[in-house]
Amino acid sequence: MGTRKAFVFSLDSFVAFVLTVAALYSLLFFATVPAAYYSSLTQANYLAKDTLLALATTTAGEGAAHCSEGQTYLDCVIEDKKAARIYIGSKGQEGGYDESALVPAQFGYKIETLDFSEGDGEINFSDADWSEVYNTADDPQSANKKEYHKLKAAAHALYFGYSQAPEGGEESPLHYVSCGGEYTICSWPEPFIYYGSYDHEGNTDIVGDAYSRVVRFTVYT
């Protein structure tokens, strides 16, 4: 009588096989999760950058609510929370389409500025921290009001402005024939004195009234 060969499949090997398959399946599942949100994340990133660029390069006209004439909308929305709602967000119902909105109602958004210290002409970022200026999550009147759950994308901008609007003078020491525009600086700011030559020993340093800001604009769903 001949011998027969058989394959013995023990319980331990079966359990090990099941665990191996489960581990591989879990690895593949979690590795592909970010790819499902890639297009949405890209859209949010473009939306944040385009909105920040539009705010920084567009100035308010005469009669613009909550903004001064000639002021950039970025400067305006940082100073006035109501302006941050009406000039960026949707004016329709939540989830609805509003073609005039920079950020559709499907997204929430927030504006932050970087607080840093300045002294002796130097900027110190060692203790810098982000300060929230406006967040739709905290604004019950905003159609973009929502909490962050799924994804978010941010854009940053280094922004310069004047603490006071420059005013034009009567005569230009640089002999500009175009001097006299509404925001053209035609006279030297104090304590600078023009002696007919910029290199004159009597000239003093110009103390400007400009400021700088680092702004972060975030959209989220």
Confirm whether 7 is domain-assigned: no
For the stretch 125-167, pLDDT in tens is: 778 889 999 999 999 888 888 888 888 999 999 887 666 554 4
What pLDDT is recorded for position 193? 55
Confirm whether 156 is domain-assigned: yes
Which residue is it, tokens 């604009």?
A: 217
Confirm whether 38 is domain-assigned: no
For the whole model, what pTM was predicted?
0.63
Confirm whether 13 is domain-assigned: no
Confirm whether 20 is domain-assigned: no
Range of the domain at 151: 48-220
The CA-based angle 49-90-63, given to 5 degrees, is 90
Number of other CB atoms surrounding residue 82 within 10 Å: 13
Confirm whether 127 is domain-assigned: yes
For the stretch 5-46, pLDDT in tens is: 655 566 777 788 888 888 888 877 666 655 667 788 888 999
Fill in the DSSP letter of residue 72: B
70-74, 104-108, 186-190: which has the minimum mean pLDDT?
186-190
What pLDDT is recorded for position 40? 84
Confirm whether 142 is domain-assigned: yes
Confirm whether 36 is domain-assigned: no
Task: Count structural domains, the chain.
Answer: 1
Number of other CB atoms surrounding residue 75 within 10 Å: 23
- In 3D, which of 46, 43, 40, 139 has the Cα closest to residue 94? 139
What pLDDT is recorded for position 122? 72
Fill in the DSSP letter of residue 188: P
**Among positive and negative, which fits the CA dihedral 212, 162, 50, 145?**
positive
In which band, very low, low, confident or very high, does the pLDDT at 94 lie, cut at 50, 70 and 90? low
Show Cβ contacts of residue 67 under 8 Å, excluding neighbours closer than 6 positions.
60, 73, 76, 80, 83, 87
